[in-house]
Structure formats: C-alpha cells, structure tokens
Amino acid sequence: MLLRRVIEHVKTQNWTAVGLDFVIVVVGVFIGIQVSNWNDARGERSEERLALLALREDLATTTAHVRTTFEQVKVANTHLRKVARFADGLEDDLPISELDEHILRGVYLFQVFNPTMVTFDELRDSGRLSLINDVELRKKLQELASQIEDVRSAESNVFEVIIGITDPYLLENYDVRGFIGYAMTEGGSGVDWLDPMKDRRDMRDTMQTPQFISRVLYRARMNFTYRNSLERLTIVLSEADQMIVDRLDELGGS
C-alpha cells in the first residue's frame, strides 16, 4: 500500500509527499528495530535474573556446607591437639577409650568438601557466562571458582597425608578396634560382633614416639591450611552473594 502511494507521488512529482513517505518508512523501520532490540534485551534480562537466582541458591547451599565443614575441621583440630599433647607426654593419664576418640576424630576421620556450583559451571562450560551483564560480578564468580579449587587442593593434601602417612602408621602400630566402637555408636559402619574393649591391647607407649608425633604434626599443618582456605572461601561466598543481590536490584527484582 505504501509502495503504491510512493510510486503515485513520484509519477506526479510530488516530492514533498515522497519525502514524507520516506520519513515514514525510516521511522517505521527504526521503531521496529528498537522494539525488537527492547524485546531481546528484556528477554536477556529475564534470563540473567533466572541465572542469578539459581546462583544464589547454589551459593547458599555451598555456604551452609562450607560452614559445617569448617566447624568439623575445628573440632578435628581440638582432638588433634589432644593427641599431640599425649604424644609429647603432656597427657600421661589419658584413658585408652578417650585416646581412641581423639585419634579417631583428630587423625583418622576426614571432613569432606562438597560445594554446589552447578549454575556457574553450566554458564562457564557453555560459554554463556557473559549472560551475567556485570563485569565485576563475573570477576567475583571467577574468583569464587578459583578459591573453591584452592580448597579442593588443600583437601587433597590432607587426604594424601591420611592415606600415605597416618593411616599406614595406625594400622601398623595401633589397636584400631576402638574406632569401630565409636563408629557403631553413631550409626556408622562397623563389625557388630566385635567388642571394642575386649582383650584390648594398651598401645599408648607406641603413640608417644617421635615417629607418631611427627605424623600428627604434619596432619595438623595440612588441617591448618585446609581450615584457612575454607575461611577465605566463606568470605568470597558472602561477597559474591551480596553482588548478586545488588545486580538483582538493578534488574528490578530479586
């Protein structure tokens, strides 16, 4: 319809009308492009908002788990300190049942780190991290991922000490049936026909040797690094969460 009218105006050499028609076409195209861009931007903001909400859920789950793990490591360090004092001859009157618990919780058991970062991993691995339209927030999320890797590295170091240094020594030099007793009382796996204290050998002298104290102190050093990395991760998680909240406010909803 508009094209026919333009042709008629050209035939009659009505250049003013032709100019108006041209302006109408240009304005119409411009408005169409703007509406399309607005719809695209609105859709991207909606996707970003959903991604940010999912990220907040992941961060909340990870934060709760990190706090639990951090507290477990603190408790383990308390028991580990008791073992170290005993190995140094500062706790000579420590009953064998109590020593069992300290060695179990401080030397034998391991506090597993298990973060939940599904949304970030999906955005990063699919190349869609730019969906988060905030450069500083993206940097903070990448810092968070890096800090998580630091914690995993510290966790791996503790695990290597357990598997390669402390466990072999305990299995070779300690009567570990006491561990089974504590595991069973807390619903863990154990041998139900074994009485942890029946015919129990007193291994306390074996635990007061330079070989044992060296292993205990090495485990303590790895635990210290593990605890500190968890503490730093807690800070970065809090900072990332606040930045997500701020970005949601900018997008007009949380």
pLDDT digits (tens, 9 = 90+) for 63-83: 999 999 999 999 999 999 999
pLDDT per residue as tens digits for the range 88-103? 888 777 888 888 889 8
pLDDT at position 22 is 55
Report whether pLDDT(254) > 50.
Answer: no
pTM: 0.76
**Cβ–Cβ contacts within 10 Å for residue 149, how many?**
11
Q: How many other CB atoms are found less than 10 A from the CB of residue 31? A: 10
**Alpha-carbon dihedral angle through residues 169, 171, 177, 182, given to the nearest 10 degrees:** 60
Distance CA 228, CA 221 (A): 11
184 has a pLDDT exceeding 90:
no
CA 107 to chain centre: 24
Report residue 243's pLDDT band, with 50, 70 and 90 as the boundaries. very high
- pLDDT tens digits, 37-51: 554 445 457 889 989
* % residues pLDDT > 70 (the chain): 74
Of residues 53, 51, 63, 184, the one with CA closest to residue 114: 63
Question: What confidence score (pLDDT) does residue 154 get?
Answer: 96
- Asked whether residue 222 carries a pLDDT value surpassing 90, the answer given is yes
Average pLDDT of the chain is 81
Contacts of 98 (CB under 8 A, 6+ apart): none
Distance CA 191, CA 50 (A): 49
Give me the phi and psi of 190, to 5 degrees please.
-165, 180
pLDDT at 95: 83
DSSP characters over 113-153 = -----HHHHHHHHTT-GGGS--HHHHHHHHHHHHHHHHHHH
Q: What is the per-residue pLDDT for 26?
A: 59
Q: pLDDT at position 89, please?
A: 83
Cα–Cα distance measured from residue 79 to residue 93, given in angstroms and rounded to the nearest whole number: 16
CB burial of 6-21 (b: ≥16 within 10 Å; e: otherwise) equals beebeeeeeeeebeeb
Q: What does the alpha-carbon distance between residue 87 and residue 80 come to, in Å, rounded to a whole number?
A: 10
Amino acid at 16: T
pLDDT tens digit string along 120-148? 999 999 989 888 999 999 999 999 999 99
Q: How many CA atoms within 13 Å lie on the side-chain side of 71? A: 5
Higher pLDDT, 202 or 247: 247
The DSSP symbol for 195 reads -
**pLDDT in the model for residue 135:** 93
CA distance 115 to 152: 10
Per-residue DSSP letter, 90: S
What is the per-residue pLDDT for 41? 47
Name the least confident of 117-131, 169-183, 218-232.
169-183
Residues 6+ apart with CB under 8 A from 199: none
pLDDT of residue 39: 46
Structure tokens, 180 = 């089974």
For residues 228 and 191, the model is more confident at 228
